[in-house]
Amino acid sequence: MAPPHKVVAIQILLVGLFLTTTVVAATWCVARSDAGDQALQTSLDYACGAGADCAPIQPSGLCYLPNTVQAHASYAFNSYFQRKGMAPGSCDFAGTAYIAKTDPSYGSCAYPSSPRTLLGFDSPTSLPPRLSFFVSHRWIALLMIISQRLGKAR
């Protein structure tokens, strides 16, 4: 049987792996269907002026159609929400938006999303390969060092 300190180190390693790789479902910020066009337009203008990527809802963009304030606001609201790191309050827009758990993407119009792990890191699957390796494996390296030090302490 393994010495108790090694069993504890292995348990810590397994918990670390679980917490860094378990992905919490993605969310999107979309326009409320009961919001008025004028309120949506005001919030849409704010989102596009405050950092949302509104190029896809321009006439030559992949999300221009349907050409409605509702559809354009949903895309802009979500872009703003994602760019703000899904921060609390970044999906309100004066009450014209809400957080959805269903992907609103359609046809060639893909709404960005940022699923998170339980510890708040970007999902390894949404990161560039080298950074994904770092996020997934930095806890393994740390826990291995702890395990080695525990072994030397005995």
Q: Which residues of the chain have pLDDT under 50?
A: 19-22, 117-136
Cα–Cα distance for residue pair 145/68, rounded to 1 Å: 56
**Cβ atoms of 9 and 143 closer than 8 Å:** yes
**What is the SS3 assignment for 77?**
helix
Cα–Cα distance for residue pair 29/98, rounded to 1 Å: 6
Tens of pLDDT along 120-148? 444 444 444 444 444 445 556 666 677 67
Q: What's the confidence (pLDDT) of residue 130? A: 43
